Amino acid sequence: METITTMLEKILNDLQAVGGVELSAIVSKQGLLMVSKQTTKGLNSEAFAALTATLYMSAESTTMRLGSQRPKSIIVETEDKHLITYTAGPDALIVVLVGNEGYIGLILNELKKATEKVKKLI
């Protein structure tokens, strides 16, 4: 029988298969790392999880004050990377770091599918 961790890792493997994803993780909204996959050396997954959860909580606080709705996703774009945070139910986030060679449209589509899978598991 597969564990929840194994099933979550398979979801991240599907995201990594799209290409261009340097780091993917499923984290709690409190910033605790559940699982992660990394293709680029030197990134700290635990710090990444905590920082992206903090980013999400700040965005959530802002949007709740403006219109009483929680964000579904947050995209931070730099010159050479995209950081995408997607909600996956009431307690989890899926986060990906995408380099320039990544196809954002395909990754967003896969993220939508992945969130539905995570919602069923957590």
Parse the chain into domains and list their residue ranges.
Answer: 4-121
Q: Which amino acid is at 2?
A: E
Q: Which residues pair with 25 in a beta bridge?
A: 36, 95
Q: pLDDT value at position 101?
A: 83
Q: pLDDT value at position 120?
A: 92
Interaxial angle between packed helices 4-17 and 104-121, expressed in degrees from 0 to 180 and rounded to the nearest 10: 170
The helix (run of H) or strand (run of E) holding residue 65 is helix 45-67
For residue range 24-69, list pLDDT tens digits in order.
999 999 999 999 998 777 778 888 899 999 999 999 999 999 887 8
4-121 fold: Beta-Lactamase (3.30.450)
